[in-house]
Chain A
Amino acid sequence: DAGVIQSPRHEVTEMGQEVTLRCKPISGHNSLFWYRQTMMRGLELLIYFNNNVPIDDSGMPEDRFSAKMPNASFSTLKIQPSEPRDSAVYFCASSLGNSGNTIYFGEGSWLTVV
């Protein structure tokens, strides 16, 4: 299996622009997670989907952030409008089952908002 696939790997955008990050989970996995990693705050869970349904989005920082999972093989994280403080590495991860199983991470999307 190719693992969790994220795109773009790197993006530099201007403040105010819309940013869309994409994720393809491992085939057969039914749980998908979006994390954000910064030096100051470490790794934070933004949102968790199970069977394509958002289960917990309490980590989504503001209304500027939204996430969708239209089907089992695709998810997006959108930031609109983007701000410099959104600069971070955004990771998508997937796992099989509802709890207790290994989580597999993608390589991350490195976002810089100038």
Chain B
Amino acid sequence: KQEVTQIPAALSVPEGENLVLNCSFTDSAIYNLQWFRQDPGKGLTSLLLIQSSQREQTSGRLNASLDKSSGRSTLYIAASQPGDSATYLCAAGSVNAGNMLTFGGGTRLMVKP
């Protein structure tokens, strides 16, 4: 059974810092890994999707990498802004689980002005 872990659970940084959020998964047989953002009281918004054949994806100030062999993914946020404050969740789509995603517990990010 796939298990996804995110470290740290919470992070507080001053505005302008570059930061890295970590995600690890136990079953390397994945077809993709997705990063989501969740604002308080809202649903999840997809940020980046990395297919299993890819090593990274970039969107603006966000860059996500994937290392299947080590069971890890990282989300890099450049020049953080207060508007980046939210909970970030990663989810692994396992080959053995059809189209279902297994989510990590999330990292709650606070960017202070």
Take A48-B98, A50-B99, A95-B99 as given contacts and tell me if A42 and B106 are in contact as well, using a CB distance cutoff of 8 Å.
yes
Interface residue count for B (Cβ, 8 Å)? 23
Complex contact A100–B93 (CB within 8 A): yes
Question: B31 touching A106 by the CB < 8 A rule?
Answer: no
Chain A binding surface, main DSSP class? strand
A107 an interface residue at 8 Å Cβ cutoff? yes
B26 CB–A CB distance under 8 Å: no
Residues of B within 8 A of A99 (CB): 31-32, 93, 98-99
Is B44 close to A, CB under 8 A? yes
Mark out the residues of chain B between 11 and 64 whose CB falls within 8 Å of any chain A CB in the assembled complex: 31-32, 34, 36, 42-46, 49, 51
Contact A56-B31, Cβ < 8 Å, known A43-B89, A99-B93: no
Contact surface of A with B, Cβ cutoff 8 Å: 4, 31, 33, 42-43, 45, 48, 50, 55-56, 91, 93, 95, 97-108
Residues of B within 8 A of A (CB): 31-32, 34, 36, 42-46, 49, 51, 89, 93, 97-106
